[in-house]
Structure 1
């Protein structure tokens, strides 16, 4: 199989607003095909909404973006067809009761049903089965997951997988569709330093194979094209090469609930605005 050709991703003043505030605003990005793109920021800062907007799953409110030459939000359906989601809580999650084999078989069947050509559907059953197995094996190899090393091989339940093994399985499932853009949420969540380095090595290898990777994280790896969703005292374009910041909504746009007496918070006003806007965006914006 030829390596998938990654999709270039660009954005200018890209933003998504809910009834109570902005989920994210002012996103700027210019990444070539096959790039590793990191969306960096604290939880609740609009990271997931930006990932879903750039993959055509959420409709942006302002600005413009292109993925593989397809314009957002005008061509959201077309962007969905060339992109695939890895693990995204509440959107695309592994079923803990399923085994690895069941997840792989289901994804291969869905891929054949919805993306296969008429000629492919008319091929002999043995040939179709062999092609599906080859696609699965290629995806597993790219994701670095060897089922024979799992406790019960492919019969291992998802609930028995380690966090990094589950990440590899989710990536493999997404790669079965041979997407031009792979999106992964919470890349470094609940990972040790060694596991975090291994996860980024995995995503970098996927990008090196030709698929553009878009990954949400709390800390971006060195060398990734980085978009930051947390505001700082000096917001604007970062001095680091290839990085850009996202400017959040003004506090005046949203009335905040009063804090309980004596309560403390680590969030800035902008981040709280973003937290509300994110919740509204998930509730109000259609996802596919």
Structure 2
């Protein structure tokens, strides 16, 4: 039976064991293993094209893994992908959950609140008077905006500001607010620090820490992770030395290197490890990640 939104358990633990996804031309990522408790901040770090987005989408039930297993909030992947989608939400993910540049901030917020009420509300909520439903939606929007640190009054035209007129940091805050309207147990954000100044990057990580501190687990793709995040790295060449393991969580490393000696297959090797010696794996490629995205219709 579906519970009221406010009664849902908060924060989803994420566990991966030998998790991998292979496309027609190679592995997008492979042998990823880690554990993150509810309310953890998990940074998927590495260069563009190293399988970061595919891993993000697989862990939120948007792409089907082909190797290993994972659990999100106790729900096994890939068997319970639909259930994982119901408890997770995407912030900005280019090509998957982008903001419409022609929409205003208000239009995006109203649309998301209406969808939330229509598809995720209880029968009792749907039977409320229109004025009560509108007030509840407004409260939900205001709470999400506050949590995302977006003040509409500070925008050029308030909530009537078009997305195309937003700065990148403001757009990221809006995408997080839209995701938070659904009160998810897990939020995933791609390209977290792309095209941001050092000061804005610091603000973004502070924002994601506050979301995690509220109990919502956060997965964030980035080029460089903060020291306090549980880090999964995808690197060209040899893996860098890992920092000390955070208390209560296992540190994870993923290795990605490029092979140049094969004519029909390009790519590198991705490997995640928590302990023990490294083992050679099959090639992991940017093309493999693109193929895996293409299979979902999101390329």
- Scaled by the length of structure 2, the TM-score of the pair is 0.87
Instruction: Choose which of 277, 280, 284 in structure 1 pairs with 2:288.
Output: 277
Provide Cα deviations, 1:234-254, integer angstroms capped at 9, x if missing partner: 58x945314211244884888
Distance 2:178 2:161 in 1: 16
Structure-2 residue corresponding to 1:64: 69
Structure-2 residue corresponding to 1:263: none
Q: Aligned pair in 2 of structure 1 residues 81, 170: CA closer, same or farther (>3 Å)?
A: same
* Mapped contact 1:8–1:69 kept (Cα < 8 A): yes
Q: Aligned pair in 2 of structure 1 residues 166, 254: CA closer, same or farther (>3 Å)?
A: farther
Instruction: Choose which of 92, 106, 110 in structure 1 pairs with 2:97.
Output: 92
* Mapped contact 2:257–2:268 kept (Cα < 8 A): no
Provide Cα deviations, 1:206-243, integer angstroms capped at 9, x if missing partner: 000110000000000110001112254258x9453142
Q: State how 1:101-116 maps to structure 2 within 5 Å.
A: 101-116=106-121
Please say which of residues 19-28 and 2-11 is displaced more in the overlay. 2-11
Distance 1:239 1:83 in 2: 29
Matching of residue 140 in structure 1 with residue 145 in structure 2: yes
Provide Cα deviations, 1:151-183, integer angstroms capped at 9, x if missing partner: 100000001101000000000000000000000
Q: Secondary structure at the match of 1:283?
A: helix
**Structure 2: any 5+ residue segments left out of the alignment?**
1-5, 271-282
Provide Cα deviations, 1:242-288, integer angstroms capped at 9, x if missing partner: 4211244884888347xxxxxxxxxx74489420101110112467x
* Mapped contact 1:12–1:64 kept (Cα < 8 A): yes
Distance 1:239 1:147 in 2: 39
* Mapped contact 1:20–1:280 kept (Cα < 8 A): yes
Distance 2:263 2:184 in 1: 38
- Scaled by the length of structure 1, the TM-score of the pair is 0.90
Instruction: Choose which of 195, 211, 223 in structure 2 pairs with 1:218.
Output: 223
Instruction: Choose which of 165, 172, 178 in structure 1 pairs with 2:170.
Output: 165
Instruction: Choose which of 48, 56, 62 in structure 1 pairs with 2:53.
Output: 48
* Mapped contact 2:25–2:265 kept (Cα < 8 A): no
Matching of residue 255 in structure 1 with residue 259 in structure 2: no
**Structure 1: any 5+ residue segments left out of the alignment?**
258-267
Q: Secondary structure at the match of 1:223?
A: coil
* Mapped contact 1:83–1:181 kept (Cα < 8 A): yes
Q: Aligned pair in 2 of structure 1 residues 221, 249: CA closer, same or farther (>3 Å)?
A: closer
**Alignment RMSD (CA, Å):** 2.2
